[in-house]
């Protein structure tokens, strides 16, 4: 029977860079009806997503960079990661299960993520991928602020959607500014997403055998809510992998 089970197996070649993206299932209902988070952005939901990314980076995979915006998570794996033989069915199922289970416990309600593997042929495509997700964060953020500004003024979901649809970026900014909302002054994490990565730090402790203080180097996951934009961001992300080759 094993040959039937493995008949659809796909393996990501070792020459390819490896990223995955997780998306929340029915998160509009989760955030607006079940948990009733503040719209368009809620810090409790943001923190739950960040903690979920931290869990994924510390549950048995070599992940060098995590990124979250809205209801999605992107993970960039170490260049030499070979867990599960790079089988897509294992990566997708385990990561979706870990994320769903962890966030369900955080929120106290059932939560579901799907997961897809994103094989990338070179560093340029790695940079393109994360720049693409950051651009998506900006688009989602601008649309959400416009939509919920109109909703809070009394517009119906259909009316608010119709007003926002078809407007250019400049027109959407003007729409917000007409209600004294300067989009450029909103928190960067809402517009650019949030990055997570490991940083080293020194920790001082006491060695009871030698009876002296000792300093050691430790790693911790750093949460960055002030990400760069454009080309600087692209180069910064690919730097996580370029340093592995040196």
pLDDT digits (tens, 9 = 90+) for 65-112: 999 999 999 999 999 999 999 999 999 999 999 999 999 999 999 999
Count of CA atoms in the C-beta half-sphere (13 A) of 112:
5
pLDDT digits (tens, 9 = 90+) for 107-127: 999 999 999 999 999 999 999
Beta bridge partners of 19: 76, 118
- The confidence band for 45, taking pLDDT boundaries of 50, 70 and 90, is very high
Q: What average pLDDT does range 31-54 have in this prediction?
A: 96
Can you give the C-alpha Rg of the chain in angstroms? Answer: 21
Q: Hey, where are the domains in the chain?
A: 2-191
CA-based nearest residue to 192, from 140, 244, 122: 140
CA-based nearest residue to 133, from 203, 75, 79, 82: 75
**Residue recorded with tokens 């962890």:** 102
- The confidence band for 217, taking pLDDT boundaries of 50, 70 and 90, is confident
- What pLDDT score was predicted for residue 7? 87
Cβ proximity of 234 and 131 under 8 Å? yes
- What pLDDT score was predicted for residue 215? 76
Whole-structure pTM value: 0.91
Q: Edge-to-edge strand order for the sheet containing 194-207?
A: 113-120, 17-24, 72-77, 63-69, 194-207, 212-224
- The confidence band for 6, taking pLDDT boundaries of 50, 70 and 90, is confident
* pLDDT at position 153 over 80: yes
Cβ proximity of 119 and 28 under 8 Å? no
Specify the CATH class of 2-191 in words: alpha beta
- What pLDDT score was predicted for residue 69? 97
- What pLDDT score was predicted for residue 219? 85
- What pLDDT score was predicted for residue 245? 65
């Amino acid at each position: 029977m094993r040959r039937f089970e493995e008949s659809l197996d796909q393996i990501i070649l070792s020459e390819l860079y490896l990223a995955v993206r997780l998306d929340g299932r029915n998160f509009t209902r989760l955030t607006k009806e079940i948990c009733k988070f503040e719209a368009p952005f809620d810090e409790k939901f943001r923190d739950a997503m960040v903690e979920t990314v931290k869990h994924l980076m510390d549950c048995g995979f070599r992940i060098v960079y995590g990124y979250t915006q809205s209801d999605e998570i992107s993970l960039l794996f170490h260049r030499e990661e070979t867990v599960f033989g790079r089988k897509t069915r294992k990566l997708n199922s385990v990561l979706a299960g870990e994320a769903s289970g962890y966030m369900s416990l955080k929120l106290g309600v059932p939560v579901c993520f799907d997961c897809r593997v994103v094989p990338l042929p070179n560093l340029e495509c790695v940079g393109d991928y994360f720049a693409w997700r950051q651009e998506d964060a900006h688009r989602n953020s601008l649309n959400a602020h416009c939509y919920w500004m109109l909703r809070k003024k009394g517009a119906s979901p259909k009316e608010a959607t119709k007003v926002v649809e078809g407007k250019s970026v400049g027109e959407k900014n003007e729409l917000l500014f007409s209600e004294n909302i300067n989009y450029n002054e909103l928190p960067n994490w809402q517009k650019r997403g949030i990055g997570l990565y490991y940083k080293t730090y020194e920790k001082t402790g006491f060695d009871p055998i030698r009876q002296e203080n000792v300093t050691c180097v430790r790693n911790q996951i750093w949460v960055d809510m002030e990400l760069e934009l454009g080309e600087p961001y692209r180069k910064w992300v690919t730097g996580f992998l370029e340093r592995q080759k040196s």
